[in-house]
Copies of this chain bind each other. A is one copy, B any other.
Amino acid sequence: MKKKLKIGLFGFGVVGQGLYHVLNETHGVKAEIARICVKNREKKRSLPAGIFTYEAADILNDPAIDVVVELIDDAKAAFQIVKSALEKGKHVVTANKKMLAENLSEIYELQQTHNRSVLYEGSVCGSIPILRNLEEYYDNDLITSIEGIFNGSTNYILTKVFEERKSYGDALKGAQELGFAESDPSLDVKGFDPKFKLTIAIAHTFGVFVKPEEIINIGIDKISAVDLKYARENNLTIKLVARAYKLDGKIVGWVAPQFIPADHMLANVRNEYNAVLVQGAFAEKQVFIGKGAGSYPTGSAVLSDISALTFDYRYEYKKFTQGDALPFSSDVLVDVVISFTHKDSILPADFESFKGGYQGHGLQYMTGSVSLVKLKELSQRNDVSVILAPELNLSSIQKVEEKELLSA
């Protein structure tokens, strides 16, 4: 049965304020925010002073508070709050993907130890209810792959670069002004933020707790003019794709930019939208699209977790508890297009299997398949940009190599 929940909220930034308003405007969630713990005593607040505290203990030691909602930036401090809250017998709702990705295995154990629930739908792809669907709807499906656009800020940048021909710098500035970008933009553009989300998604999809540092991430910050030209001339777009799938008795995964055909379901996912594509043996291909950033979309995901707590909902981690999870690995070959400016930066010998290339006008690219670990290494060279081939299949790329792509 439903019970009225008292919430102690940590953090009152955009998502916290979004949650506050969403909770006030909706009926039917038996929950109220009783106390809000904030850090900055100087900041002007939109609510009466009485609701705020600067002491975590005022929330953690209050036996009347049932649920801690943690929405602060600092992953380490957030983890301490989550631990203390569980120890004090409170349920937790959080959207802190970095904290979750780094501590998910321990957070799982803490939930068992203290018999309390930690819910975090807002941490992965904002408003998209992907975790709940993985937990409940796909709980018995044999999922083979999960992939998608897991970062709204980079998707906004790529959209502006492609559709409005903005420079990368202008597009990034635009994303920051709209509040889509993390305070440290390298978390977005170098692919760390989507990697944290992928880490969490992998646990609920395949039942493996991977450390984020085990997953290779390649960003969009080095995408070159050649890449854009290549994409436009071949009716492709570029998306930063997070991906994990079953391969030969293991789970492989990464975050990397990828060419996407214009008629692919991910191609029309624009601006701050995110998308998740799940493939399973039974439900087959399914796509979820929604806003990945913004105070209301994330606030609504947090609210749905609070609402679920009124029904004593907990993640089952069924794919993990079934005990037949496969190990995670980065040992995989990927098909890729590598562009570079210095003639000898990349050599055919860098490829496991070299397919072809183009050279001219001081710009060049090569295509072929490369081991993922080697690709990460190549991507760190100064003048090199790496983009995965569409659908991991070079057949369509091979066709276009016959054209002169870089004609002036």
Q: How far is the CB of A325 from chain B (nearest CB, A)?
A: 13
Is the C-beta of A34 less than 8 angstroms from some C-beta in chain B? no
In the complex, per-residue mask of A149-175: 1 if CB is within 8 Å of any chain B CB, else 0:
000000000000000000000000000
Contact of A286 among B141, B280, B285, B290 (CB under 8 A): B290
Q: Which residues of B contact A142 (CB under 8 A)?
A: 25-26
Q: How far is the CB of A23 from chain B (nearest CB, A)?
A: 9
Q: Are B287 and A28 in contact (CB under 8 A)?
A: no
Is the C-beta of A127 less than 8 angstroms from some C-beta in chain B? yes
Q: Which residues of B contact A136 (CB under 8 A)?
A: 132, 304, 308
Is the C-beta of A245 less than 8 angstroms from some C-beta in chain B? no
- How far apart are the CA atoms of A132 and B308 in the complex, in Å? 13
Q: Are B285 and A290 in contact (CB under 8 A)?
A: yes
Is the C-beta of A263 less than 8 angstroms from some C-beta in chain B? yes
Binds B, one of A65-73, A185-193, A293-301, A331-339: A293-301
B-binding residues in A (CB < 8 A): 22, 25-29, 127-129, 132-133, 136-137, 139-142, 263-265, 267-270, 273, 280-291, 294, 296-297, 299-301, 303-304, 307-308, 318, 322
18 contacts across the A-B interface (CB closer than 8 A)? A22-B140, A26-B140, A26-B282, A28-B140, A28-B322, A127-B286, A129-B133, A137-B304, A141-B300, A263-B270, A267-B268, A282-B296, A282-B300, A285-B291, A286-B289, A286-B291, A287-B289, A287-B290
